[in-house]
Each structure stands twice: as C-alpha cells, then as structure tokens.
Amino acid sequence: MNTATKLSGFALGLAAVFGTAYGVGHLAGPVTPAADTRHDPAGAAHDSDPPGGGPAGATAHLPGGLLVSDRGYTMQPVDAPTGQFAFRIAGPDGTPVTSYEVAHDKRMHLIVARRDLSGFRHVHPELSADGTWRVASPLGGPGVWRAFADFTPSGGDPLTLGVDVAVPGQLQPRPLPAPATSTTVDGYTVTLAGTPQPGRTSQLTLTVSRDGQLVTDLEPYLGAYGHLVALRQGDLAYLHVHPEGGPGDGRTPAGPAVTFSAEVPSAGSYRLYLDFRHGGAVHTAEFTVLAGDVPPAPTTNPAAPAPTADAGHGAPGHGHN
C-alpha cells in the first residue's frame, strides 16, 4: 500500500503536465477549453493551439468515435473473406488514405466492442498498398459491433471514426456489469482508484497485482505501461488515454500503478478497458464506472413496444425461433 500511495503522489505531480499535453485532447477530442476546470498553470499551450487544429465546425466538441465521417475522412468497411475484417479510410478527395503517422508504435489502432459493451478487442491491422486495412476478425460473435479506427493521417490531426458492423446470429445481450473498483483478468487483480468527473480532468490509477503480489515489472505495450479506453454506455462515445510518462524515460516505474488523466464528456455509465502487458501477453481489465450524477434508470418504459421492434422478429405473436 505504501508503494501505491507513493506512486499516486508521483502521478499527481505529473498530472499538470499531462493535462495540457496529450491526455485531455486525445481523450475528449478537440475540447473547447473550459477555463475553470483546468489544473495546469501553463495556459499558453491552449492559447496557441487551436482546439483540434482543424476546422471547428459542429463536430469539434464531440467525443471521438461517434461519427463514421469527420473532417473529410470516412471509415468504409470492405468485403473480406470469412474470418477477416477489412476497411479503408477515404480521405478528403474520396480516395483511400495510404499514408499515416505512427502513433504509439502503430499507424492504425482498431478497437471493437459489441453495442452492449462486451467483447472489447484492440488490434492492429496491416495496410495494403491500395489503402485497405486487414486483420483477423476481432468480432467475437453475433450482434451489432462498433468498430473504431484510431489513427492520424499524415500531416493531419488524430481522428477516431466509428462504424457499426452486424454479425449475424442470435444475440443474447448482456447487462452492463455493476460498477466495481476491482476486477480480475488472466489471474491478475486490477484495482481502480479515482472517479471520472464529467467535464473535468480526473486521475484514474489502476494497480496490478498477481497472487497477492504487486506487479512491478509491467512490460511496455505500444510505448506505454497501459492503454485505457473508455466507452460511454448508450452511444459508445470513445475515449482513449495514455499515461503520462512511460518506459525508458527514467522516471516512470513499471507498475504496479499506472495513472491516467481522464476527462469524460458527460455524466453516465462508462466501461473502462485497461490494456497492459505482463508475462509476454496483453491483458485487458474491464471496469464499469459511474461519472457524475447518473440519471435514475427508467422505471416503466413508456416506449414499451420498441424492444419488440428491436428484436427484429416482427410482431409479438410471431414468437421466437
């Protein structure tokens, strides 16, 4: 516990730097700075840096991943052989983009989750010369999936586009797991300290242990000791943050704690996915968190007929096969 406490203080010291630089911008997209919520004294970075860099437009305030087309770039799924997932990014001139910046070791990060927030995967497709990205399909079963392409076109701004992909078959939707501050994955226990707050930056510290021992030799994964993705329940707004500091910088320990500065765009339920690497494998720890005052769940839904339509099996009298 002493170690964790100490690291936590360490991380807070870094937060001021991080809040300005990468975290908030990448997390919540091109955010219009909310003056009263910034912790950093170095406001100059905001003043000299137009939010998002690109045309502001109506979408500039949106979290990532909600749009299939943004700032001239469009995500286009492509027919692929069974077991493969393929897509292109069409650029402003309509042709597939073939040149990308490397961000966190990769030119393309593809994240998928089912619309019920289950089945999260984070994979890295290969780019063909014609601009098609291909990867062994990460879609783990029937249902409607959201696929997020997280990338930076050469010379452009970071973008996350999202598209729905349907996988045929019978879906058994899973309720969102209850909020918790501890979870287990692959024999690891991961605890979460901190609560995301809508509209302002919060520290989230994830601490990894195994068999009761704190893990202090996390392995670099894509240039960091952890990657944190948050998806908002209801629309799967996409937030992706990296910790400030990382492997090889001489000041960032390899665990057991990894701290992120995170800003969520609204009150609500979020599913957090922490990717970390240890023992030669990548593990994903998942948490449900509530941000802010979450509106009470609807009691009797006045739109009761809707679920029948959503089920896709026609009128109630038809029953199910």
Interface with Cu ion (CB under 5 A): 109
Which of 279, 246, 270, 280 lies closest to 260, judged by CA?
A: 246
Rounded least distance, CB 83 to Cu ion, Å:
21
Rounded least distance, CB 200 to Cu ion, Å:
26
Nearer to Cu ion, 109 or 232 (CB): 109
CA 224 – CA 243 distance, rounded (Å): 7
Say if residue 256 is preceded by a cis peptide, omega within 30 of 0.
yes
Rounded least distance, CB 110 to Cu ion, Å:
7
Nearer to Cu ion, 223 or 253 (CB): 223
Nearer to Cu ion, 38 or 104 (CB): 104
Rounded least distance, CB 104 to Cu ion, Å:
6
The residue number whose beta carbon is nearest to Cu ion equals 109
CB 242 within 8 A of CB 227: yes
CB 258 within 8 A of CB 275: no
Rounded least distance, CB 7 to Cu ion, Å:
25
CB 258 within 8 A of CB 226: yes
Nearer to Cu ion, 102 or 166 (CB): 102
Rounded least distance, CB 164 to Cu ion, Å:
20
Nearer to Cu ion, 61 or 106 (CB): 106
Rounded least distance, CB 281 to Cu ion, Å:
15
CA 77 – CA 133 distance, rounded (Å): 9
Nearer to Cu ion, 15 or 222 (CB): 222
Tokens representing 19? 């809040």
Nearer to Cu ion, 150 or 268 (CB): 150
Rounded least distance, CB 282 to Cu ion, Å:
10
Nearer to Cu ion, 124 or 210 (CB): 124
CB 238 within 8 A of CB 64: yes
HSE (side-chain half, CA atoms, 13 Å) at 149: 34
Q: Where are the alpha helices (DSSP H) in 121-176?
A: none
CA 211 – CA 132 distance, rounded (Å): 43
Tokens representing 246? 């990382």
Q: Where are the alpha helices (DSSP H) in the chain?
A: 2-20, 23-28, 44-47, 306-311
Reading across the β-sheet that carries 227-232, which strands appear in turn?
A: 238-241, 227-232, 268-278, 281-291
